[in-house]
Structures are given as C-alpha cells and as structure tokens.
Structure 1
Amino acid sequence: MNSSTNDPNINYTFCTKAFRTAPSSLYANLTRLGLISINLVRHNVTRTTFSIQTLLESNKVDNSTKLGLKDCLEVYSNSVPTLRESARDYRARRFNGANVKISSVMDASTTCEDGFGNVGVISPLTKQNNDTFQLSAIALSIMSML
C-alpha cells in the first residue's frame, strides 16, 4: 500500500528518499517500517534542534527571528523525549499512545513555522519544519495500517 496515495500530507518522492537513508528499511515489514519512521522523525528533530541552537549562537539573526527561534527551540526540545516515549509505546504495540505523541511533534513543526509569521519574519526553518511534518505524517500513516 502506498501512503502517499491515501494521505495528501505525504509526498511519494520524499517518503522514498527518507527511507533510503535507513538501509534496514529495504527489507523491513510494515511494523519495522513504523519504528524506522519514528526514528527518522527523531533524527530530524534532533538535527533541527541543533540548527536552532547554532542560529541562536551565531549573532547573524535579528531580534524578531531570535524570538521565533527561541519558541521553536522550546517546542523541538520538548519533542525529543516525546519521540523516545513514542518509540517505546510503538514497540509495546500501544499505537494510540504513539499516535498521540507523533501528532504532537507534527503540531510542533507547524507551531514553530507559524511563530515566525506571528513576529513578522520569514522562517529560516521552513525546510526542517516541512520535513518534520512529513516524516510525522509517514509514521502516522504506517501506524494507521497496523
């Protein structure tokens, strides 16, 4: 089954590229792909958190952008332990709990992106936020098939 066919939030090309970064996905069953997808979200969130910290330390962003980055740092920092808990729930086959947690991470990416508009600046994290959103959608789609 192709998740991108059933979910407008999932781009087929993005999905296949994402799974190619995890060689174990090549021969994984659906259950294993779900865990791999959660790990892909976690890696993306961790990289995004590091990017935010780097931007904040750089002195190359204006004060309005810094406000947005600080809000993003908070929501992304909170997402890292949430994703660990989600993986534990998933392994224990508590898919509802994992689903709620992944959904909150998906919301965090939207909250981060929207925060820049609220302070009137262009987001320097649009790609990372979109990637987090889409990777979360992939994980949710896989869980809905189990």
Structure 2
Amino acid sequence: MRPIVLFAVFALVAALLHPSAAARTPASFAAIAFHNAVGSFCNHTVYSDLCVKTIVENAPTFKPLNQDTVLAILMSAVDSKAHEAKAFLLGLTKQHTLNSQTRELLRECVETYSNAIGNLADARRAIQARDTGARDALINSMIPNFESCDDGFTEFYLKSPMTAWTNVLKNMVDNCLAIVRMHSPYGPGFHLN
C-alpha cells in the first residue's frame, strides 16, 4: 500500500475514533430535533427568544412537541413565574417602611395576581374539557390582571415595584396566545386582546 493511501486510511480511522465523532450520538440528534421543533413553534410568537428559553428550561425531557405540549409547557412556566411574583408581592406587603397607600396597592396587586393564577387554573380545566373558547378567554384575561397591578400605582403617580414582573408575565402569556392561535381559523396573526 502506498504511504499516502496508508496515511489517508489512518487519518480516517483516527477521525472516526476522535471524541467529537462520538458527540453525534442518537441523543445529540434527538436534542437537535428537539431544538428545531422548539424553534418551529416559537417562530410563531412575538417573543420567540423568551419562548425558546421557557421551553428549553421547563421541558422535562426531549419529548415530542406538538401544539398541546408546547402550550402546556408555556402555561406551566407562566404559573411558576406568577407564583414567584405573588410571593414577592406578599414579601413587600410585610415591609414596615412602606406607607399605608403603597401597602394597600400591593395588597390589590396580590389580589390581581391571584386572579390571574386562578384564570390560568380555569384555562387548564377548559383545556381538559376541550372548551377552546373558555381557554382562550381565560388565558387572554390574564394580561389585564397583571396590568391592573401597575395601573394602580400609575394612578397615584407612583413607580410600581412589579413592572418588570408584569412585563415578563404579559410576554409569556402572549406567547401562550400565539401558540393557541397557530391553528386558529383566523390565522397566526389573529389577536384575542
């Protein structure tokens, strides 16, 4: 065998045995397929980066994704984030340095966040009952629930401590609505709000 051919065969064998070749296992192909599927759903959302991040962080495994599983993952993430925000609010209400007006506004925020969490739970029940109209209305109603917290502060020319939470939660809910609208008879651009 010529030395050049021998070298080529040796280089090929070495390349196949190299650790980077092992990186392309069926699991890595599954991960690539998962990320491609995530992208195909999240491209339908306005906040696609948030959508991708939410799914990747909250999907328990590389399970097959469809509209229902993506919506369930996104709704679960909204639920977790809303509970975090409510816990933050409850902590703020216990601060003794706040004036009574601010403390009352925070209590109202706790109530509106509780309403949003309740609407999300009701939306899950509507999904189980296959009631898409109720599902859509309940998910959509969460946005004004979150906004009304900030509105109370704005009314008194105060800065809301919940603005960042409100914005993230509104964007997460909007992503849920975008996934719901993917197969809407009105098309992907149809907005319920």
What's 1:50 paired with? Answer: 87
Larger of the two Rg values belongs to structure: 2
Distance 1:128 1:26, change over 3 A: farther
Does 1:83 pair with 2:120?
A: yes
* Contact 2:78 2:169 survives alignment (8 Å): yes
**What is aligned with 1:7?**
none
TM-score, normalising length: structure 1: 0.86
2:38 aligned with 1:38: no
> How far off is 1:91 after superposition?
3.2
Q: Deviations over 1:63-110 (max 9, x none)?
A: 332232111111111222221111121233322111111111111111
Instruction: Return the match for 1:22 from 58, 63, 69.
Output: 58
Cα distance in 2 for partners of 1:57, 1:97 equals 36
The structural deviation recorded for 1:25 is 7.2
In the TM superposition, what are the counterparts of 1:55-74 in structure 2 within 5 Å? 55-74=92-111
Give the aligned length. 141
Matched, 1:11 2:52: no
Q: Percent identity?
A: 22
Q: CA RMSD in A?
A: 1.8
CA distance in 1, matches of 2:135, 2:146: 17
TM-score (norm 2): 0.67
Instruction: List runs of 5+ in structure 1 lacking aligned partners.
Output: 5-9
Structure 2, unaligned runs of 5 or more:
1-39, 184-193
Mark the CA change 1:16 to 1:117 in structure 2 (over 3 Å): closer, same or farther: same
Instruction: Give the structure with the larger helix fraction.
Output: 1
Match of 1:105 among 124, 132, 142: 142
- 1:140 pairs with 2:177: yes
